[in-house]
Structure 1
Amino acid sequence: MLETIPSWTDERVELLRRLWEEGLSASQIATQLGGVTRNAVIGKVHRLGLSGRVKPGDGAVAGRKKVSREAEIELAESGPIAPEVIPIVSHRPAPDFPQAAPPVVAAPTALASSTRVTIMDLRESMCRWPMGDPTSSDFHYCGDRSITGLPYCTHHAQIAYQPAAERKRDRRAGGFR
């Protein structure tokens, strides 16, 4: 048996509008209409351009106490109230907090001019460190002799790999998160 899905007839759309204006939720409207989901109701409300509503107890008014008319007049006559100034506190480490050691930077090694090989000339024993912009015709790879088991020469391996002890020290000092 083929089940028919109710379409948005004029009567159903009118009922949707009325229920929406009464403040019912999309779920409640879907239940009232029958045969449609909450999401279908939300979609139809959006397509119809019905205004969004502020839920009772929601928004800027929520949490405020009811102010008497006299109090409103008194507030209006007193003028604007200056906002409270809150000082900004600097967050500095406590004096007994150990200061992080300066990062250890490996001394730059003199790099012999690379062989400058293209991808077509690259072999297993050559350094695969990319050099330049891959979209330019001048792009090449280092091409120097790679360390056995690694894709890079000694110089580029120092850049690419850090000993585990240095990584742990950097994390404790706040270098990595």
Structure 2
Amino acid sequence: MSEAICPCCNSEMGAQGDVVEGRMHYCGSCRGILASDRWLNTNMRQTNLRNVRKSVFDGQAAGYRCPTCHGEMVKGPVTTTQGGSIEVDGCLKCGSLWFDNREIEPFIPDIREKASLPDDSNPILPVISGGMSVAKAMISDLFGAVGSLAGRNEEDSEE
């Protein structure tokens, strides 16, 4: 399995998750997050995810390829539950969504609710504001990943 390269800063992205619950790739440099279709299905309410996908996939070409499958990326404006609007990118081939630094924050309440996390928890904050070691531990704990990034062999899983 080849390493995913961040579409914003060209840094190697870390990954967490597994084949069953999906994978989340994250950039330790610019804090962007690529969430796989399966990860999104596992961690977001379907009604919200459907609205996000419709907005993104009815959008226009994003001008780059998916970091994991090299499919064409498109982008579209997504209205958040707080009434704001952000631009989210999505892959036409694999269905992954790309969130630039902090763009996933409006969806944290949905992710927290689906994962049955306490209201004061922030499941993504370590990824977007903390160090890589904190991010690895937090994602591993919160989303039931098989192992931490540091201890997981790439050939142990297939996507």
For Structure 1 versus Structure 2, the TM-score category normalised by the shorter chain is under 0.3
Higher relative contact order (CA 8 A, sep 6+): 2
Which TM-score applies when normalising by structure 2? 0.16
Q: Which has the higher strand share?
A: 2
Which TM-score applies when normalising by structure 1? 0.15
